[in-house]
Structure 1
Amino acid sequence: MFNVMIVDDEPIIRFGLKSSIDWEKENLKLIGDYSNGQQALDAMEREGRVDILITDIKMPVMDGITLMKKALVVNPKLKIVLVSSYNEFEYVREGLTHGAVDYILKPTLEPETFLKTVHKCVDKIEEEQKMDRKLEYAQQSNVAAIRRRVEQEMKRILLKKHDEVKSESVISMFEEPHAIVLLKLKGMDRVDEDFGFLYNSLIFEEIQERFYLATDEGICFLISDSELLFFLKKSSDPLTLTTMIKEKIERETSIGIIYGYDVVHDVQDLVKGYYRAHAACGRYFFHSEKEIFRYRPDIAQDVPALSEQELEGFLLPYEESRSETFIEERFGVWSSENMKPSVIKKEAGNILKTIFMKKIDPPVLMEKIAIIEASDTLEEVRKSTLEGLKACAQLLVNGENKPHMDNELLDKALHYIHAHYTDELTLQNVADHIHISRNYFSILFKRLMDQNFIDYVIELRVKKAKALLRQTSLKVYEVAANAGFNDVKYFSKLFKKVTGQSPGDYRLNHEQ
């Protein structure tokens, strides 16, 4: 709907202009009528957007030509119709020269003629809007194409570890210092287990979309399935933008985001800058109470793990309280940040291997070690190591060295999953049903089924959704709910990722 304003110092003319058109029927809104140009100009500033101005030429205080010139400064796309008498043609000529669309004569004013003139203005507005949309689309497409090219070039540089950068588009981008920010989701393995591997990519796509809506002075792209990179001018307050996006995504998804950052001063520092940001992000392992980390060059993390012989000297012969004390002592060493997280996890797993190898069932021992390796924080490593120690020790005490009946457990779990997959089914629900721990069930399911629990559930739900789309007339949100998805937006995006079609397109292509 377009806004129309009428200006004429003669009340009877204003009344005639207002009453000669059914404005609402023509999808127009008459937002005011005024007796002189100054009143109209003040109203424009007060009321906001005016699309069509119908104004008399000769008026007191401010005439129509002056009003026209001033109004076009405020809104260059304003469409103007002049209302004149026979003896005002020189003014009409001046008005047309300055951009008026047309004019109408008071003595011969007919509703049909007036309506045609207004339609002429509407046609011009719609044509301009159409051209603006085409231009905007072309500009956006061009910008998007340039971004994609720069993203791909930067990704190649980082993955191939080229220290010497020759790409002109990348070189020109780094003419001033940039912040390099690496984002990760908290507990990637847990997110995979609870939501499926596709959920990560959907969240990263959402972050990338919000990034480009918020700024046109940076680059954002996936560097791996679990990492997203921002490059922003240091002068543009990059941390404020990053934190704003982070907090919004966290509110909408309830999934935590951590990021590490540093500054790249020139393009040849790009690869090293990425590794500095990566190292900064890795500090979350030691400081899980924080979420934002700046690279610290004083942290070397070059201390190796204890050797097999050293561990045997400390831990054998096995005595439970002595082993617990040793783990707590090592936790103090690990907390110093002088060892890489991967080295710490390896050493923690080797503690269990040293004590229990050849004493308990190997799959059970390997699953306890896998839980340690899946830890995201140092505290989780400590807890998993102590729990693994107690669990393995209990097996020795009880003499339970026989292999678990894994296939029987899996059969029981699958039966339960197929009966409840359209409900709010979680990994914990199923683990509780078959009376084993969440972590143990996660590892068991992945080992025997060669996929995550939730990815298996999603396959069942998508299969159910396909059947409902083919066989019923349920609305998309009803299909989502009946297939076990409680978020229709997530369902639609995930369905398209899996099938290559939106739910609506899938239904159209499979109508029976």
Structure 2
Amino acid sequence: MVAIKTIIVDDEPRIRRGIERLVKSFDVDWDIVGTYSDGKEAYDAIINSHIKVDLLITDVKMPEMDGLTLVKELRKSHFFFAFFISGFDDFKYLQTAIREGAINYILKPINREQFAVDLQEVKKKIIAKREEHQSLKEVQERASKLTYATQVQLLSEMTWLNDKDVSFLNWTKEFPTGKYKLSYISIDQTVPGRKGEESKECEIWSFAVENILEEMLMNEFINYGTRKWWWRNGRNNFWVLLFEQDKLEMNEFSALTEQFLVKVKDNIRRFTIHTASISESSVFHDLTQLPSYKNQLLSLLQYRLIQGGNKLFKYDLINEAHDLKPKGSTPVIYMRTQQILHGIEKYDEKKVVKALQTFFDELEHLSSPRLVEEALHYLFIQIVNLWMENDGYWEDPYLLTEAIQMTKWASSFSELKGKTKDWLMSIMKKIQLLRDDHPDSIQQAKDWIHENLGDNITVKKIADHVYMNPTYFCEYFKKMTGVTVLDYVTKKRLEKAKKLLELPDIKIYDISSLVGYHDPKYFSKLFKKWQGYSPSEYRESYFKRTSIK
């Protein structure tokens, strides 16, 4: 049994020492953690030294601070049992003591036998309270684990699937509001060896990486109140989502996260045979944007194909490399690359084709295949940077991978030229579509939503219809209409549901499907939340009103 932490407060030293000897003589379970001569001394010691107390035995009348005031003030921050001892047989003191939660009130001189009986009763109550507290703690821990498991499942679905109906955005309501950062950790290399042995050894090292990540997440953010979630993306890839509410400034949160990710990367290299590359998002507040940031991080991670693994890739760090010239290449190649970029930005196809031709003319004069590959990689990086500046990572997060494959699999210089030209032209068209500004795009989006209320509606489908980036579209829609895409779609679906409920021959579960909700229970719950009554209650009320008329 854990010892019962006991404090004794009395302004008479002889009585104080006598109580201490009595308590110790009764049972080894009593642990005297402090004795004090008045309430003020006891209060300061308990508060300043963070002393845990189970039982406070105190005199009532004392200088500086009396026992009743001591108990009253301590109860503001501590839970404990109070045992009053007094030389005054005064009903007013007894009333006040009971009001302050006294477990007992006895008069001096203390009767040894009665005091022993009273302490045993106190001990039983303390043990019962501890057991109650432990049971509650276990229930809370189980509830917390269940909540965490549910949240991880939701996050996993959002990083695996891209075609979830917009109603699924309700999942974000299961999470707190504040600052978020998403990271993607990917193992760079696998274990060589025979097939059977290789698979088994991979599992062992993958488990080791998982343990490193889990242990670091548990220990790194203890002093900051940071919440964290992690989940797998296949055997050798991991997502990490970090949350901070209001304790840290945005730049402090970013710095703390970056330090953590660097430690993760270094520990994986130190304690396993692997290295890992990590991509990191900027800070964001709207969790519905998580799929967009997911694609951004997948795009960023493709840079390891050129820059190598065991690195931390950040969006802003990649942009810093935008103006770096390729090593070993001529200044003309750098100039032609800038001309290609300028042509794409101006949507000038002739200029792009001409600059690309002169770019390849220069490549033919380079002294080694390595320099040709380096120059092409530089061009591809600049194009992908331009693509990402236009939020194109949502549309195609693996654009750089596609470009690198061209250099690896082209069978001739002529084929490489043709594939690079086709790739550039397709990127130019995509960027132009992303930049197109349609004044009536909001109305077009609304019209499309109205026509497809019974279908699977995703943010990406709506945004594609108006040629906009999904993340930008969500922000633009909210800015122009004052409501989120989710709320607008929900409102229109439920308006349609109300009209269908006014038709007697359509069953409620069919109505649910007709307005895009394939789970009738979820539809009923949502309908009641928005309308204040269930679908069946609305239908019943409607027919009562119409029959009266």
- Alpha-carbon distance in structure 2 between the residues aligned to 1:23 and 1:334: 83
Residue number in structure 2 paired with 1:379: none
- Paired residue secondary structure (2:16): helix
AA at the equivalent of 2:254: L
Q: Which amino acid aligns with 2:378?
A: S
1:169 is displaced (CA, Å) by: 4.4
The corresponding residue for 2:81 is 79
2:291 is the counterpart of 1:271: yes
Task: Name the SS for the 1:29 alignment partner.
Answer: strand
Conservation of the 8 A alpha-carbon contact between 2:188 and 2:277? no
Q: Which residue number in structure 1 is paired with residue 370 of structure 2?
A: 327
Which residue of 258, 274, 284 maps to 2:278? 258
Match of 2:207 in 1: 198
Equivalent in 275, 297, 315 of residue 294 of structure 1: 315
Q: Which residue of 1 aligns with 2:141?
A: 140
Encode CA deviations 1:143-171: one digit per residue, 9 max, x unaligned. 33233223323322332212643136424
Counterpart CA distance in 1 for 2:157 and 2:65 is 64
Q: Structure 1: where are the runs of 5+ without partners?
A: 304-310, 316-321, 356-512
SS in 2 for 1:170: helix
1:117 aligns with 2:118: yes
Task: Give the partner amino acid of 1:53.
Answer: L
Q: 2:233 aligns with which of 223, 245, 257?
A: 223
Residue 185 of structure 1 deviates from its aligned partner by 4.1
Unaligned runs of 5+ in 2: 193-197, 323-339, 345-351, 353-359, 385-398, 414-549
Structure 2 distance, partners of 1:19, 1:175, is 52
Note closer, same or farther for the CA distance 1:40–1:165 as it changes in structure 2 (3 Å cut). same
Q: How does 1:25-174 map to 2 (within 5 A)?
A: 26-49=28-51, 50-75=53-78, 77-85=79-87, 87-110=89-112, 112-162=113-163, 164-167=165-168, 169-172=170-173
Structure 2 CA distance for partners of 1:257 and 1:266, relative to 1, 3 Å: same
Letter in 2 for 1:278: L
Quote how far apart the aligned CAs of 1:130 are: 2.5
Partners of 2:177 and 2:23 in 1: CA distance: 59
SS at match of 2:101: coil
Alignment partners' CA distance in 1, 2:59 and 2:156: 62
Which residue in the other structure is 2:254 paired with? 239
- The 1:59/1:199 distance shift into structure 2, 3 A limit, reads closer
Q: Deviations over 1:114-165 (max 9, x none)?
A: 3443343343333333222322332232233233223323322332212643
Q: Is the 8 A contact 1:82 1:92 kept in 2?
A: no
What is the one-letter code of the residue matched to 2:206? F
Query: In the aligned structure 2, how far is the partner of 1:176 from the partner of 1:12?
Result: 58
Structure 1 residues 260 and 285, CA gap change in structure 2 (3 angstroms):
farther
What is the number of residues matched between the two proteins?
337
Q: For structure 1, which segment, 206-215 or 158-167, has the greater mean C-alpha deviation from structure 2 after superposition?
A: 206-215
Cα separation, 1, equivalents of 2:61 and 2:244: 55
Please list the CA deviations of residues 241-268 of structure 1 after superposition, one character each: whole Å capped at 9, or x if unmatched.
Answer: 4334334545655255522214666565
AA at the equivalent of 1:17: I
What is the identity, as a one-letter code, of the residue corresponding to 1:29?
Answer: D
How does 1:454-493 map onto structure 2 within 5 Å? none
Give the Cα–Cα distance (whole angstroms) in 2 for the partners of residues 176 and 55 of structure 1: 46
Partners of 1:87 and 1:174 lie apart in 2 by 57
Cα separation, partners in 2 of 1:205 and 1:82, compared to 1, 3 Å: same
| 3-state SS of paired residue (1:152) | helix
> 1:175·1:266 contact (CA, 8 Å) conserved in 2?
no
